[in-house]
Structure 1
Amino acid sequence: MKKEAKDTIIVELGEKLKSYPHFYLVDTTGMNAEKTSALRRKCFKNEIKMVVVKNTLLHKAFENSDINYEPLYGCLKGTTAVMFTNTANMPAKLLKEYTKEGVPSLKGAYAEESFFVGADKLEELASLKSKNELIAEVVALLQSPAKNVVSALQSGANTIHGVLKTLGERPE
């Protein structure tokens, strides 16, 4: 590969590192073409951009970045695919489907401004909540007390109305 092509790839990887807030480093060794294309299709459906990279070029892109990716340098061995995403837990959920097969396996990840190194971190990454999930939880928590108050007021109104009606119909 010519130096110009390598420089272009390094720049492209650097742009992806800047444009996507989360990424996973995955070992795809042992996957045949059929399984790899199936994984790519699943990634596409889940809005994950999967790119197979040369470790040295990714290492240089890491070095050129504003963020210090040094904790992930040890993961750059063997076959490496990078899964770029805007939702931190989506690739982990996708990779959990493959845990029985063992391929692909997680090498490391940068998610929610934290580093995760090793395949044992997959469960932790999958349990991360996305921004939309957190917003939904907060909205549900805020609505719950209001629903309880409205419900109590409505049932109280019926009870008071029922008591007054009964007292009004009672002969003296």
Structure 2
Amino acid sequence: MSKYVKELVTRDLQRRLEGVSDAVTVTCTGMDANTTNELRGELDSKNIQMMVVKNSLARRATEGSSLAPAFEGTAGQVAVIWGAEDFVSLVKEVVRLDKDSEKYENFVAVGGVMDGEVLDDAGVKAISKWPSREEQISMLVGQLLGPGSSLSAALLGPGRMLNSQIKQKGEGDDE
């Protein structure tokens, strides 16, 4: 590949990865075209992007960015995966596809980068066990509403008891 072509490809990679700060790297060497196309469609339905890149060009394109550590120590072709609603959702989907060995046997998560920190394959699998953004929000809402409902029950409890006693007295007078 000529120097001019490498420069063009590098600029295109920089443009496509602009604004991406967290990503997962996978190997998918050996997948046939139909399986790769099916995989891309499945990822696209979840707003996840996948781009297969030559390692040396990816290193050149991400030099100085937060994605640069993801390509350190990798060799050959890798696929960069980014997008989704949040990084944890992205990682959960990648790990799910990695485990689906029947359908995507050559799809293997090898690492990634989160907030500028390098992740190995074990780190990616550990993050997949974290709660997603939606789960975290629901946990937070539960924690915020818990004390209020306890306070409400504490305030309304004596009033209900008094109401019940008055009602019993009122029904007892009718007899």
Q: TM-score, normalised by structure 1?
A: 0.81
- Structure-to-structure mapping, 1:51-130, within 5 angstroms: 51-63=51-63, 65-67=64-66, 69-70=68-69, 72-75=71-74, 77-86=75-84, 87-95=86-94, 96-101=96-101, 102-117=105-120, 119-130=121-132
3-state DSSP of counterpart to 1:127? coil
Looking at structure 1, the residues matched to 11 and 20 of structure 2 have their Cα atoms a distance apart, in angstroms, of 14
Contact 2:25 2:80 in 1 (8 A): yes
TM-score normalised by the chain length of structure 2? 0.80
Q: Which 5+ residue runs of structure 1 have no aligned equivalent? A: none
Residues 2, 37 of structure 1: alpha-carbon distance in 2 compared, 3 angstrom cutoff: same
Work out the number of aligned pairs and report it.
168
Question: How far has the Cα of 1:115 moved from its partner?
Answer: 1.8
Report the 3-state secondary structure (helix = DSSP H, G, I; strand = E; otherwise coil) of the residue aligned with 2:72: helix
Q: Structure 1, residues 103-129: CA drift from partner, whole Å, max 9, x if none?
A: 210111112443211x33332121234
Q: Check whether the contact 1:46–1:90 (CA below 8 A) recurs between aligned residues.
A: no
Residue range with higher mean Cα deviation, 82-91 or 22-31: 82-91
RMSD between aligned alpha carbons?
2.5
Stretches of structure 2 that go unaligned for 5 or more consecutive residues are none
Shift of 1:168: 4.9
Q: Percent identity?
A: 23
Q: Contact 1:72 / 1:115 at 8 angstroms: preserved in 2?
A: no
Residues 66-75 or 42-51, more deviating? 66-75
Q: Secondary structure at the match of 2:124?
A: helix
Query: Could you say if the C-alpha distance between residues 68 and 81 of structure 1 is closer, same or farther in structure 2, counting changes exceeding 3 Å?
Result: closer
Q: What is the SS of the residue equivalent to 2:118?
A: strand
